[in-house]
Chains A and B, each alone.
Chain A
Amino acid sequence: ETGVTQTPRHLVMGMTNKKSLKCEQHLGHNAMYWYKQSAKKPLELMFVYSLEERVENNSVPSRFSPECPNSSHLFLHLHTLQPEDSALYLCASSQGVVDTQYFGPGTRLTVL
């Protein structure tokens, strides 16, 4: 778990706020991912970055904006979220896409 870190671990925000989630991987991987985990639903892949380039975007609303400045860091910028966006947001990394992924502890987001 220490190979992939996420901050903050918990976040409460209003619908008009702007906030960012941060993920950092210390494993030397070249691919990073954002997942959303809601209660009673399977994990939903949101974004995939390979070599700092976005290679997959699974119809995620524009109020979620990812950024990958280098292969070790991944951000998820949040703007005017809805209460249904409350969930656990998980970051993962791997060496190459479609390979074993290592997950961070997640950020528990609550939108009021």
Chain B
Amino acid sequence: AQSVTQLDSHVSVSEGTPVLLRCNYSSSYSPSLFWYVQHPNKGLQLLLKYTSAATLVKGINGFEAEFKKSETSFHLTKPSAHMSDAAEYFCVVSGRDTGRRALTFGSGTRLQVQP
């Protein structure tokens, strides 16, 4: 069965410093991987998507993620945090493992950005 683990439930950074949100996945097939962001009282917005092309994926708002098959990781990074980045971030794996048709979500990482 496929699964995804977000290693930190909360991350706190200062504005202007780098952001690292960690994600490990498990899948029997070559998965597609996503990062979504959810601001308070809003739906989920797609940040970026990996689908077996380039291993370094660039997304919106300056975020990027690197797919590392040997480490089964898909960590999300941003060089410089902005106050508006404060939100909940979800790592998601998609695949046809055991016939499952939809996405498997991680439990989320809440990012706080301090002024």
Most buried by B among A55, A101, A106: A101
Total A-B residue contacts, Cβ distance less than 8 Å: 54
Which residues from 52 to 95 on chain A have a C-beta closer than 8 Å to any C-beta of chain B?
Answer: 55-56, 90, 92
Binds A, one of B13-21, B65-73, B77-85, B90-98: B90-98
B43 pairs with A105, CB closer than 8 A: yes
A4 pairs with B43, CB closer than 8 A: yes
Chain B neighbourhood of A55, CB < 8 A: 101
Partner of A100, one of B49, B95, B96: B49
Contacts from B to A (Cβ < 8 Å): 32, 34, 36, 41-46, 49, 90, 94-96, 101-103, 105-108
Known contacts A6-B43, A48-B102, A99-B94; can you find 13 more A-B pairs with CB under 8 A?
A1-B45, A43-B90, A55-B101, A90-B43, A92-B44, A98-B94, A99-B32, A101-B102, A101-B103, A103-B36, A104-B43, A105-B43, A106-B43
